Amino acid sequence: MANLKMDQSRRLSAVIFFLATFLPAQGGAAEGQALAWMNSAIPPEQRAALLVGAMTLDEKIEQIALNTAANPGLSGCGLRRDTRHIEGIPRLAIPTLRLTNGPTGVAGGDCNPNPPTTAVPTALAAAATWDAGATFRWGEIAGVETRNIAHHVFLAPGMNLGRVAQAGRNFEYFGEDPFLSGVMAVQQVKAVQSHGIQANVKHFVANEQETERSSMNTVVDDRTLHELYLLPFEMSIKDANPASVMCSYPRIGGVFACESKHLLTDVLRNQWGFQGYVISDRKATNSTVASIKAGLDLELDNTATWFTPAKIKAALAAGEITVADIDNMLKRRFAPMFRLGQFDNPIHDFTPVDFAAHAETSRLIAEEGSVLLKNQDGMLPLTASSLRSIALIGAATFAGAAKLPATGPKGIITVNSARSVTPLQGLNSALKALGSSAAVTFDDGTDLARAKALAEKSDVAIVMAGDISLEGEDRANLSLPVVDGVNQEALIAAVAAANPHTVVVLKDGGPVLMPWLSRVGAVLEAWYPGQEDGIAVANLLFGVVNPSGRLPITFPMAEKDGAIRSAEQWPGVMIGGVRTTTYTEGLQMGYRWYEAHGTAPQFSFGYGLSYTTFSMSQLRATKSADGTKPIQVQFVVQNTGTRAGSNVPQVYLGLPASTGEPQRLVAFQKVSLDPGEKKRIEINIDPDASNHPLGYWDSKSQKWSIADGEYQIRVGDSAANTQLRATLTVRQ
């Protein structure tokens, strides 16, 4: 009898263990429950399924929207009113998930005030390096510092294209070309996630303007959508495996992006194999049932509007959604957290930021991404030893302080930089390092006569000017605006008239018009350089660093140059009470439009000067192919000048005429050479690569196709200057 009782006891214990370990918790599991999902030997997807199976319905609903509860366990972090976290569940070992903004550096997270971080150059400046390694280093700063401030999700990279030169957020993106954007985004995602931080690629998709972005309708044909606007997202999904995607504000073809089953499920998950979760842009969720059924997993808003307990439970009761829908939403979010170690190595509190190292990296990116646009008669670099006086002139925003990028509506989110270097500090520092005693005098440009007088008596005049690009609004035009009471156009004209040795340094978020271009000797495009502004620009002006940046976006000659020439295209017209923007230019966007119409821009996509000169020659390329094997392209680049420098050979491909395709960028490589040095560059173009270099999107079959016929391989240093040509014949 005793043995029988012992066997029954053992069997009962085994049953209790099984139930406690493997069955879902109902109304709250015991604190001693075994957390099977914390076994790191189990694949992330299985761990996510085990975790979701142990959650109560109320716990599940808590996890699909941000909440406004106090931010626990993070010292020195005052809670923002617009919270950016999902409260953790300690009994299930679910950590609190904190999100921080991204495209301009680590800021706008869950803490108030923002903890100190590094103010890096803009994404557009990073793209202007045409160096995947530079963008990776940018992403490393983001990943490390997101972890330093105890956050988990970095809301970047942004990959919307520079379709409209006036678009307010061009500075947050990588320019007008989908391939360049995709390459840069892939590196940034890889770098961020290498530090156990989630990258969030955004804004998916067709959000190329800020005007009425939250309610507008974008009309774009399916082929153009896939070949241009979806392509960088496809590249990032396939090549970098980001944890999450942010759906955008607009309607796409009449359906809000965050409730588009075609985009979020058919394309993103079924065509591309995306395994992560989809988060809405802030307040971009417009429904409960439609959004969930489309594939939206997390509502981003400081106060949930649609994914509230009441609305979710009502939809469940009505049979409009199921618990399985909620489970899938959570599995898709928890799996990347497991994959990146955010359960196994939880981020508990702040850790020190290596500000010195990150400042150095930020400076290098600012230098490498600056583009020398004009250099008449070799005015630059300035010879420090021969100068006695330098006039530094410009509105305080650009010439008096480091130009830090800002994001958020009206620019409310600025990185709380640990330091910044003003233009005056930078020039004086560079002069001292070069052994020069030249005096630098600053004038804020508010008195035109005074600024002109200073320029007249100085050896050289440096005018720093720019624009103010902001999230939430597009620029009214491409002219330099009045800033700090300074008419910048008039200021540049006056200074140039007073001193023939006038250099203009631009700090802007995208293309600007230059009616004064012929009157100045040199123009340096520095974008928004970030905290190291002063020293980076000074190093370039004095030749400590040789400029090597190239334009990631075309600079037009006039306001109406380029593809965007009608109100229907931008900012849209009212149709049925909704602002509707139609991409009637189709594939002819950016540099493709200029080629198709034989129009010369002010400065072309890919353009940039150096303090040395280069030549390209001896092009050899595959002559025939079957559309499956890599295409080989070889050529020689030589530094024909007297200084060491870097060039960016660019490979463009012209598809057969039957495809109706403009030329497209398919490869590039940054190469550094000493004076007289030459190097043979070898590039393989893989038809199976994620950017589909030989392909066109066949809307009828809903797949990429390769056409038989003649392809033209073009190699040069910009979209408008491809001096090396070869013909490739494809027969499948």
- Give the model's confidence band at 26: pLDDT under 50 very low, under 70 low, under 90 confident, else very high: very low
pLDDT-wise least confident of 22-26, 306-310, 594-598, 607-611: 22-26
The pLDDT tens digits of the residues spanning 425-440 come to: 999 999 999 999 999 9
Tell me if residue 281 is catalytic: yes
Q: Residue 567 — φ and ψ, nearest 5°? A: -65, -30
Strands (E), 360-512: 371-375, 389-393, 406-407, 413-414, 439-443, 460-466, 482-483, 486-487, 502-507
The owner of tokens 């009157």 is: 519
Distance of CA 271 to the CA centre of its chain: 23
Average pLDDT for 544-553: 98
Cα gap 210→207, rounded to integer Å: 8
Residue count (the chain): 732
pTM for the model stands at 0.94
| Confidence at residue 408, expressed as pLDDT on a 0 to 100 scale | 85
| Confidence at residue 27, expressed as pLDDT on a 0 to 100 scale | 38
Cα gap 226→233, rounded to integer Å: 10
Topology match between the domains 42-339 and 366-541:
no
DSSP sequence for 123-142: HHHHHTTT-HHHHHHHHHHH
- In Å, the largest CA–CA distance within the chain is 112
CATH class (in words) of the domain with range 366-541? alpha beta
In the chain, where are the structural domains located? 42-339, 366-541, 612-730
Does the domain made of 612-730 have the CATH classification 3.30.70.2170? no
Q: Are strands 198-204 and 153-155 parallel, antiparallel or unpaired?
A: parallel
- Give the model's confidence band at 15: pLDDT under 50 very low, under 70 low, under 90 confident, else very high: very low
Show the tokens assigned to 197.
């931080």
Cα gap 569→588, rounded to integer Å: 13
- Give the model's confidence band at 226: pLDDT under 50 very low, under 70 low, under 90 confident, else very high: very high
Cβ-contact 170, 128 below 8 angstroms:
no
Higher local confidence (pLDDT), 69 or 254: 254
- Give the model's confidence band at 78: pLDDT under 50 very low, under 70 low, under 90 confident, else very high: confident
DSSP sequence for 183-236: HHHHHHHHHHHTTT-EEEEEEES-----TTTTT-EEE--HHHIIIIISHHHHHH
Q: Residue 392 — φ and ψ, nearest 5°? A: -105, 110
Cβ-contact 509, 548 below 8 angstroms:
no
Look up residue 72 and give its amino acid.
P
Query: Which superfamily does 42-339 belong to?
Result: Glycoside hydrolase, family 3, N-terminal domain (3.20.20.300)
Cα gap 462→623, rounded to integer Å: 50
Cβ-contact 159, 123 below 8 angstroms:
no
The pLDDT tens digits of the residues spanning 585-641 come to: 999 999 999 999 999 999 999 999 999 999 999 999 999 999 999 999 999 999 999
If you compute the radius of gyration of the chain from its CA atoms, what whole number of angstroms results?
28
User: Which residues, 6 or more positions from 203, have their beta carbon under 8 angstroms from its beta carbon?
Assistant: 158, 160, 246, 247, 248, 249, 257, 281
Answer yes or no: is pLDDT of 67 > 50.
yes
Answer yes or no: is pLDDT of 173 > 50.
yes
In 3D, which of 98, 34, 24 has the Cα closest to residue 60? 24
Exposure string over 499-523, b if 16+ CB within 10 A, otherwise e: bebbbbbbbbbbbbbbebbeebbbb
Cα gap 614→216, rounded to integer Å: 46
The pLDDT tens digits of the residues spanning 490-526 come to: 999 999 999 999 999 999 999 999 999 999 999 999 9
| Confidence at residue 75, expressed as pLDDT on a 0 to 100 scale | 74
**Torsion of the alpha carbons at 14, 16, 20 and 22, rounded to the nearest 10:** 50
Plot region of 719 (φ>0 → left; ψ -120 to 50 → alpha; else → beta): alpha
Cα gap 486→602, rounded to integer Å: 25
- Give the model's confidence band at 2: pLDDT under 50 very low, under 70 low, under 90 confident, else very high: very low
| Confidence at residue 496, expressed as pLDDT on a 0 to 100 scale | 98
Alpha helices in 26-90 (DSSP H): 44-53, 57-62
pLDDT-wise least confident of 19-33, 199-213, 356-370, 461-475: 19-33
Answer yes or no: is pLDDT of 220 > 80.
yes
Show the tokens assigned to 541.
């002006």
Select which of 281, 297, 443, 561 is catalytic.
Answer: 281
SS3 691: coil
Instruction: Report how far apart the first and last C-alpha atoms of the chain are (Å, whole number).
Output: 81
Average pLDDT for 214-225: 98
User: Which residues, 6 or more positions from 328, have their beta carbon under 8 angstroms from its beta carbon?
Assistant: none
SS3 263: helix
Q: Are strands 389-393 and 439-443 parallel, antiparallel or unpaired?
A: parallel
The pLDDT tens digits of the residues spanning 684-695 come to: 999 999 999 999
For residue 417, the 8-state DSSP code is: B
Average pLDDT for 384-396: 97
The pLDDT tens digits of the residues spanning 315-353 come to: 999 999 999 999 999 999 999 999 999 999 999 889 999
